[in-house]
Amino acid sequence: MAQDFKHLATALQTLDEATRLKLVELPRIIDEWLAPHGGLVGRRVLDFGCGFGEMAAGIAIGFDPAVVVGIDIGRGPIKGIERLEAWLGPGRLPSNLRLEQVTPGALGSVDPIDVVVSWSAVEHVAREALEKILRDLHARLAPDGVMMIQISPLYFSPAGAHLWPCDYGPWEHLQKSSAEVVADIAACAALNERQRKAVTEMFLELNRLTAPELIDLVQKAGFRVIRRHIERTDLTPPARLTDAYALDALTTEQVVLLLKKQG
Ligand SMILES: C[S@@+](CC[C@H](N)C(=O)[O-])C[C@H]1O[C@@H](n2cnc3c(N)ncnc32)[C@H](O)[C@@H]1O
């Protein structure tokens, strides 16, 4: 396995922690999960909702897949190529990496797919669209293919509003109306006008999936769960919320699923 990041040592020293996590740590975690199921070497990988493509790049650089295609409906893939070239140096982009901006519902150019990975993206897809995407991914996945989906933070968990730039407190979004949250974003000093608009849209579009709902959706699309990891918060939700919402939903921060085709 090509897990040698030494040639990137200089580039990695200049990276912030979040980027290093996506470029180095997440690909390692994915490789560890996939090892008993064919691994990453030589496989055709799709990163669904790749953002700037750091994780896709880390897989392409470190784990010798045949190809990694990162897809996103935003401009992340375009900006991501520029950013990766700036870090790695001209001409150092891995030849097995492609980042593609797609229209909603499209799955990019890799077909068939051996491995789908999706990190912190599925909670941003409207439920109806997600149901179709999961069915299409199932259809495009090779018979021995696997899919790994991670969501964090889940909507009903303490930071589920994804409003960390606005210093939102634990479960604050569940104790306010949507209009109040939108007003808080509009007043958020850490964001510029363009960011406020984007963050407002992002908040309103969160699909509010819980971990059991995600499991139900993937099973309905024909997948079988072969490994799952659930992380919970140590914080105690306010009584007002435990009266209204299931404790499990309020305290489950992260879900990670490894899935295979049924049968
Ligand atoms: C929070 S970002 C995560 C990006 C990346 N996975 C990461 O961890 O840095 C979620 C991404 O999902 C993308 N997204 C939402 N719906 C999508 C869809 N239908 N197809 C592809 N990407 C989508 C968004 O544009 C956004 O870039």
Expressed in angstroms and rounded, the spacing between residue 48 Cα and the centre of ligand 1 is 7
| Average pLDDT score, the chain | 94
> Which of the listed residues 17, 109, 124, 256 should we mutate to test ligand 1's pocket, taking the one with most ligand atoms within 8 A of CB?
124
Question: Residues near 143 by Cβ (< 8 Å), separated by ≥ 6?
Answer: 261
What is the arithmetic mean of pLDDT over 129-158? 98
What SS3 class is residue 210?
coil
Q: Give me 250's structure tokens.
A: 């309020």
* Res 262: pLDDT: 78
* Res 13: pLDDT: 74
pLDDT per position as a tens digit, 13-52: 778 899 999 999 999 999 999 999 999 999 999 999 999 9
Sort residue 241 into left (φ over 0), alpha (ψ -120 to 50) or beta.
alpha
pLDDT per position as a tens digit, 60-87: 999 999 999 999 999 999 999 999 998 8
Residue 149 has pLDDT above 80, yes or no: yes
Cα–Cα distances (Å) from 216 to 132, 153, 239, in that order, read 14, 19, 28
Expressed in angstroms and rounded, the spacing between residue 118 Cα and the centre of ligand 1 is 8
In the chain, the domains with their CATH numbers are 6-156+207-261 (3.40.50.150), 164-203 (no CATH)
* Res 3: pLDDT: 47
Query: 3-state SS string over 104-169?
Result: CCCCCCCCCEEEEEEECCHHHCCHHHHHHHHHHHHHHEEEEEEEEEEECCCCCCCCCCCCHHHCCC
Expressed in angstroms and rounded, the spacing between residue 178 Cα and the centre of ligand 1 is 22
Where does the pLDDT of residue 9 fall: very low under 50, low under 70, confident under 90, or very high at 90 and above? low
Which atom of ligand 1 has the smallest separation from the CA of 71?
21
5 by Cβ neighbours in 10 Å (0-12 / 13-18 / 19+) ranks as middle
* Res 87: pLDDT: 85
* Res 198: pLDDT: 97
* Res 1: pLDDT: 41
What is the arithmetic mean of pLDDT over 132-155? 98
The predicted model scores a pTM of 0.95
> Which residue's CA is minimally distant from atom 25 of ligand 1?
74
Sign of CA dihedral 147, 34, 234, 51: negative
**Under 8 Å between Cβ of 68 and 98:** yes
> Which residue's CA is minimally distant from atom 10 of ligand 1?
121
Closest CA to 7 of 47, 43, 52, 61: 61
Which atom of ligand 1 has the smallest separation from the CA of 124?
15
Closest CA to 233 of 173, 166, 152, 177: 152
